[in-house]
Amino acid sequence: MKSIKVGSAAFEALVNRNDQGRRRLQQKVSGILESVRTDGDNALIKFTKKFDKIELTKKELKVSEAEISGAYQDIKPELVETLKKIIKNINKFYKNQMPKSWMMKHEAGIELGEKFEPIEKVGVYVPSGTAPLVSSVYMTVLPARIAGVKKIIMMSPPNKYKSIDPHILVMANLLKVDEIYKIGGAQAIGAMAFGTKTIPAVDKIIGPGNEFVTEAKRQVFGYCDIDMLAGPSEAFVIANHNINVDYLKEDLLAQAEPHKGLSILVTPSKKIFNIFHKDPAMRGFVVKVKNLNEAVDVANRLAPEHLHLMVKSPNRLCKRVSNAGAIFLGEYTPVALGDYVAGPSHVLPTGGTARFFSGLNLRTFIKSSHVISYSKKALCASADWVKEMTALEKLEKHWDSVRVRCGVAADEAAAVKAPVAKTE
């Protein structure tokens, strides 16, 4: 592993890793998105041929019922049973996250509250490179279903058989995904954001992907919502001298396994530092710090996707963590558990965006509306406050909408206008 020092140029590059190569990527993705926005299905067919080497017709963009039925014949029956057990396990976690609408009496004649509703249409992106990421299906679709999303569509790149991997199709079918399309990359994000003749536009796009997918999500934000910027996998491990070195080694190798995966080890232990710094088989970075408190400070600056606390008292250290997608406590909680079966979604913010994004959860699929109710007496009791603020901001009609309800004479509206300062 490559050694870097806190505060060095290499360390700052890690802190700002989400900016690397951004301008060139922005231009490429922008061109793809504009083509999809203006040319719709034709652009999707063109890019699928260019990037995936697959020729599809407009009719073939959507996965058929026959393809879904045939997918069950191409996977092991026992795997279906395993998937059902995992679904049940994840269900238990998310059912505890459902927010409830509420109202409260603020003062006499005033009630305030919040009303929660599920987002109507969600688009899910599921990567499928060298292997089908079946776990990304249930880690995204299941919380959307529990939240009550009315329509879910899914995008995944086509394989050489002009379909989608059968494992992905079966998982999507088990979770009752409404529509599935054979489209990958930035063009898939554009299709969900803008809509085409074949594909409906959605209200929110979720799911992980490569740098093109992540940048596309960033650029379409505003046309629709997105969950977060979830790019290549990354793990940050804080370890001290009394941990099992074999466990640590396998954890670091596991997170460096995906394409462009990033592993970072931070340790106050000279022994641990030397073991991993001198091992040519290890990829990623190792940082030597003075103590565990400094290690957490480094973690908070880097804001990693996965933060694994392999220390004797992980709960104590966890209290000081403020920036991390998910936190794993102790030697017997490898990140792989969170990736597949623990319960919380493995779709997490990467590239340092855990400073302001949360991991995918039930609230990802819920929007809220503020609810406000005033009686006439309560309204008029607050009228003077409104009058003063509308005068300050020169919004006389706002005051009029209150004045007329409280029986204030129209000629008093003149008092709303803020005085104009005289010039010498």
Residues known to be catalytic: 305-306
Q: Which two tokens stand for residue 359?
A: 């991991």
Cβ atoms of residues 199 and 181 within 8 Å = yes
Helix (H/G/I), strand (E/B), else coil: 247: helix
Sequence-ordered alpha helix ranges (H) in 95-199: 134-147, 166-174, 185-194
**Residue 382 burial (CB < 10 Å; 0-12/13-18/19+)?**
middle
The continuous run of DSSP H or E covering 337 comes out as: helix 335-340
Handedness of CA 358, 363, 369, 372 (dihedral sign): negative
**Residue 90 burial (CB < 10 Å; 0-12/13-18/19+)?**
buried
User: Hey, what amino acid is at 321?
Assistant: V
216 vs 220: CA distance, rounded Å: 6
134 vs 303: CA distance, rounded Å: 26
- Backbone phi, psi, residue 185, to 5°: 70, -165
Q: Which two tokens stand for residue 21?
A: 């190569």
Q: Which residues contact 329 (CB under 8 A, 6 or more apart)?
A: 309, 314, 315, 318
301 vs 196: CA distance, rounded Å: 41
Q: What is the dihedral of CA 225, 227, 231, 237, to 10 degrees?
A: 150
